[in-house]
Every structure is written in structure tokens, then in C-alpha cells.
């Protein structure tokens, strides 16, 4: 049971409890039989109406849609045959430096051991999470960075970050491929 369903159950219980309390207070403190009967009917109809409306809303609007991952959660280093060589998790991160670790630079996504790593700069690409998702920005690298999205190439320029989408492929220095999953 998810949070919305638990909240709905708690609201159902509160609605029923309120109706019962109203009925008990009416019975205890009112002496006029006609007013008692009118208030009982009002409590019953109100409670039943609210529960019926809630049930209708759940049926009409609360249908669960299949879960589709829309925000990237990992970065995958691909071989030339699209095999996974290494995976870096994006979840829980706010910024990642893609490059090669050296004495003065510590890359979060270290491509020191990747093929064609000689074309990668120590600080090649920055990945930053901002309110609405992950953004990639080339850090004035010697050999450039490109995002391949749905068969289209998007060249990255320093100072002009591009938002990452699921299934993008980041092409570094024309040879190293990082899939966004």
C-alpha cells in the first residue's frame, strides 16, 4: 500500500468516526425526536455521499499508470559492442566530474582505464543535478563532448549545459560512450 492509499484509508476512517460521533452527540443531547431523526439522516447521507464520491474518484482518476523511469539514475560506460563495462549511480549525487583522475584532479567518473582515454582531459565534463534533472556541460575539453539523442548529435559547449534525458549517449572525445539510464 503506497502513501496515497494509506492517506485515503485514514481519511475514510476519520469520516466514519466523525459520523459516529455526530450520531452519538445527537442522541445524547437532543430531546426532540424529529430533529434527532433529521440529523441522523443528514449524518448518514453526508457520510455515504462522501464515501461514494471518494470511491468514484478512485475508480475514475486513481488508476495506476505503469511505472516509467523518466529521470536518469545511472551512467553506463559502453564497449564498442554496447556491452556494459562500468556503471556509476546518479542517485543521491548532486554533481559529478567526468574525466581522468590525476594528482590534482579526482574524477568521480574516472575514465583512466577506458579505451581511448588519452583523448580524455582530467576535467572533461561536469554533470550537475538541478531542480528538474541532470545537466551536462563540457569543461573546455580538448576533444569535445556530444550528446547523441534519438539519432541526433548535440555538441556541448563550455558555459552551455544541456539537460540529459533517458537513453541519451554522451560521446566523449569521439570515442568513449556513456549511456544515460
pLDDT attached to residue 165: 95
DSSP 3-state of 21: helix
In this prediction the pTM is 0.63
> 74-180 architecture in CATH?
Sandwich (2.60)
Domain ranges across the chain: 3-61, 74-180
pLDDT of residue 137: 97
Q: How many residues does the chain have?
A: 181
What contacts 154, CB < 8 A, 6 or more positions away? 146, 147, 148, 162
Strand partners, 137: 126
Q: What does each of the 181 residues of the chain score in pLDDT, given as a tens digit?
A: 677 677 777 877 887 787 778 778 777 777 788 877 877 787 777 777 776 766 766 665 555 555 566 789 999 999 989 999 999 999 889 999 999 999 899 999 999 988 888 999 999 999 999 988 999 999 999 999 999 999 999 999 999 999 999 999 999 998 899 999 9
CA 165 distance to own-chain centroid: 12
Q: Which of 22, 62, 67, 57 is nearest to 40 (CA)?
A: 22
pLDDT, position 62: 55
Amino acid at each position: 500500500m503506497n502513501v496515497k492509499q494509506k492517506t485515503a484509508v485514514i481519511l475514510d476512517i476519520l469520516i466514519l468516526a466523525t459520523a459516529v460521533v455526530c450520531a452519538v452527540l445527537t442522541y445524547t443531547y437532543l430531546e426532540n425526536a424529529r430533529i434527532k431523526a433529521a440529523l441522523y439522516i443528514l449524518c448518514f447521507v453526508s457520510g455515504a455521499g462522501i464515501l461514494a464520491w471518494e470511491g468514484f474518484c478512485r475508480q475514475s482518476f486513481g488508476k495506476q499508470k505503469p511505472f516509467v523511469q523518466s529521470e536518469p539514475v545511472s551512467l553506463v560506460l559502453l564497449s564498442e559492442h554496447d556491452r556494459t563495462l562500468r556503471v556509476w549511480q546518479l542517485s543521491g549525487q548532486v554533481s559529478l566530474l567526468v574525466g581522468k583522475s590525476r594528482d590534482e584532479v579526482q574524477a568521480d567518473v574516472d575514465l583512466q582505464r577506458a579505451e581511448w582515454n588519452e583523448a580524455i582531459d582530467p576535467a572533461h565534463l561536469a554533470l550537475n543535478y538541478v531542480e528538474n534533472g541532470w545537466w551536462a556541460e563540457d569543461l573546455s575539453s580538448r576533444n569535445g563532448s556530444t550528446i547523441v539523442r534519438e539519432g541526433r548529435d548535440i555538441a556541448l559547449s563550455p558555459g552551455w549545459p544541456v539537460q540529459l534525458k533517458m537513453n541519451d549517449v554522451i560521446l566523449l572525445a569521439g570515442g568513449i560512450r556513456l549511456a544515460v539510464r
